[in-house]
Structure 1
């Protein structure tokens, strides 16, 4: 009994109270840090949503992108906060955290070497989403392969091409990324007409077709402006090529462009404008007769024999 009393009297109550107070202060600061972090992330989320709305991004896509970003930042910040808090608490109760930090550093180094490609993919994916370089529903060309973007993850980008084939690209391996439907799209066309045609008249017909399409109830809302006719672009083998462009809402360029070409063909037919096609001439040399003459002589010879 005396031994227990002696041990009880040897306890340094002041140090215990001081240590408990420090632990409570650390826990309070950790809780306060979580509250501040939530407020900062909430304001950041509202700001990103406002910027996306101003840029004209669809609300569903912007909410999904911002939610993914905020969740990733929250998880990373909470992990750092609680790991730091636990290490401080261990130190307060007398645990030497030096060996723990050294062991964690060695393990982290080993994992970093083994999973460096995975970490690279995650970092690249984070910036893809943060900078809004590509979204679900965009048409993009990734490393030379084009298709519709079906998923944008922190590790991969998933495309489906026109043939239905799914292409998966790790974000860290993406060297070239071309987004065909970011903010607005364009249909670039090259229309060839015969050399005998008046190019000014041709351009007037093309402009009138574009103006009619802009007033169309169905296709007009998809067009941001009337088609731009750049003019004569080059002299081809059998045609004078006129280049132009139609600016449309994202992913609507092919629908508008196909209809424009259909109407151009009808307008050219009505105006008598010739759309040339490749011609070939057969030549048998100076000693040979033209093929039409040779055929006629052959037919005449057969009639005489009969």
Structure 2
């Protein structure tokens, strides 16, 4: 009699706590795990190109397709190691952010549903979370701004690892791109940590194409027309060299006299080259023009030296 009464009491009084509610909570956990798994797979599909033989079709549905299309327009193959490394870096960063966001949202949903199932009033928790979020937003608004700016920089592909950029306070090569900080190594070797929210403008010298600008001075007494002919011929011959031809995109242009001062007349020539190669091409062309001037007898500007004190 006591055993049957105990069974009746357990079944009637504790069924809700021992069977119904645990099963409900378990179902929420299972749904959350499955939802997180599916969403993570979708994010992986969107951000990570699938390696196949045909690279064009393997990345057709990737969220990184704009980077590939831009590289193709610039004459750079999407199989180029630099492009692939940059694509992978962006995919890892963007995918990591999306996955973290999904995990946080799913976890918050499971916690709220579990509390509601256990009989707690979740409305105060939601209100407290809203107030805490507002307070956190005011207290960490710079951090939030850095993260948002970093997301847009990655999505818009403003720059990537290996690019030479000018962000105002720092000019150099990008070594890493994060959601909060971008690190840039300048020509002196100094590593700059730039907060993304503080970067107001970006000059990227490694995207698309570049222009190698060659300014060469000649003496005011020199024959300017002949100097231009000699300089242009030297540039045309130099861009056909094997070590430079692959970098040159268009035929060089002679712009003529760029400036005139009391001590020199400066001639300017330009040539469109691949991004990041403008400095090497400019050095080679400048050296070639100066050698051509020397061999052709084109006068160089004289150096006006100030007298030494006490001389």
**TM-score, with length taken from structure 1:** 0.78
Matched, 1:210 2:235: yes
Match of 2:121 among 87, 96, 101: 96
The secondary structure found in structure 1 opposite 2:63 is: helix
Q: Does 2:195 correspond to 1:180?
A: no
Q: Which residue of 1 aligns with 2:53?
A: none
User: Which residue matches 1:87?
Assistant: 112
1:79-119 deviation line (CA, Å, top 9, x unaligned) = 11331243234324432111221222233333323322222
- Mapped partners of 2:199, 2:272: distance in 1: 28
Judge conservation of contact 2:32–2:110 (CA < 8 Å) in 1. no
Deviates more, 1:118-127 or 1:272-281: 272-281
Structure 1 residue 9 and structure 2 residue 34: aligned? no
Give yes or no for contact 1:140–1:149 (8 Å, CA) kept in 2. Answer: yes
Aligned to 1:24: 27
Mapped contact 1:87–1:97 kept (Cα < 8 A): yes
Q: What's the CA shift for 1:153? A: 1.7
d(CA) in 2 for partners of 1:44 and 1:155?
Answer: 20
Say which of 211, 218, 221 aligns to 1:193. Answer: 218
Partner residue, 2:258 = 233
- Please give the alpha-carbon distance, in whole angstroms, between the structure 2 residues aligned to 1:99 and 1:281: 81
| Aligned equivalent of 1:65 | 90
Moved more, 259-268 or 142-151: 142-151
Look up the match of 1:136. Answer: 161
Residues 181-190 or 195-204, more deviating: 195-204
Distance 1:106 1:175, change over 3 A: same
Given the superposition, is the C-alpha separation of residues 23 and 243 from structure 1 closer, same or farther in structure 2, using an over 3 Å criterion? same
Larger-Rg structure: 1
Q: How does 1:152-167 map to 2 (within 5 A)?
A: 152-167=177-192
CA distance in 2 between partners of 1:172 and 1:105 (Å):
24
Report the secondary structure of 2:249's partner residue. Answer: coil
1:52 is matched with which residue?
A: 67
Q: After superposing the two structures, state which structure 1 stretch, 102-111 or 169-178, moved more.
A: 102-111
TM-fit CA distance, 1:138: 1.6
Cα displacement string for residues 37-75 of structure 1 (whole angstroms, at most 9, x for unaligned residues)? 522541344423443233226211211112211111121
Residue 299 of structure 2: aligned partner: 274
Cα separation, partners in 2 of 1:211 and 1:60, compared to 1, 3 Å: same
Stretches of structure 2 that go unaligned for 5 or more consecutive residues are: 50-61, 72-81
Residue pair 2:172, 2:187 contacting (<8 A) in 1 also: yes
**Aligned residue pair count:** 280
Residues 125-178 of structure 1, C-alpha deviations (whole Å, 9 max, x = no match) = 222222111222222222243222222221112222222222222111222322
User: How far is the alpha carbon of 1:281 from its aligned partner?
Assistant: 11
- Over 3 Å counting, the alpha-carbon distance change for 1:180 and 1:272 in structure 2 is same
Cα-to-partner distance string for 1:170-189 (whole Å, 9 max, x where unaligned) = 11122232222223332223
Q: Structure 1: which 5+ residue stretches go unaligned?
A: 283-306
More deviation in 256-265 or 97-106? 97-106
| Alignment check: 8 A CA contact 1:222 1:252 kept | yes
Separation in structure 2 between the aligned mates of residue 253 and residue 281 of structure 1, nearest angstrom:
35
1:258 to 283, 286, 306: 283
Aligned to 1:275, the other structure's residue is in SS state: coil
